[in-house]
Structure 1
Amino acid sequence: MKTMEYAIYKGDDLITTGTKQECAEALNVKQSTIEFWATPSNVKRDKGKRTVAVRLDGDS
């Protein structure tokens, strides 16, 4: 199984990248928080100030 990589943004600023576990440890949050930040509903609510996670596709 392929490990999913994430990029975490706050507005236009890149905060960190890595696996769900690496990002959670770097930001001192739960892995479920990273999952929520990547949901379409959270991304849709973003008006430039919200923290969002973007799943990175390694097949580019």
Structure 2
Amino acid sequence: MAKYKVTSNFVIDKTQYDKNTVVEISKTSADKINKRGAKSHPTLAPFLVLVEEKKANN
């Protein structure tokens, strides 16, 4: 899991993301959202920007 800053208001897969908020999601999910967003709205991409990546506890 990692923290991402949302750069635009958008809804994807029935989940709403609000601009300038920070969300915690997996890197895989963030990559999928950014790829879909780049195809549909290339001028607004990327929709999620990495803020903090959590390190695994060993």
Q: In which range does the TM-score fall when normalised by the shorter chain?
A: 0.3 to 0.5
Larger gyration radius, structure 1 or structure 2: 2
Q: Which of the two has greater helix per residue? A: 1
Structure 1 or 2: larger strand share? Answer: 2
TM-score between both structures, scaled by the size of structure 2: 0.38
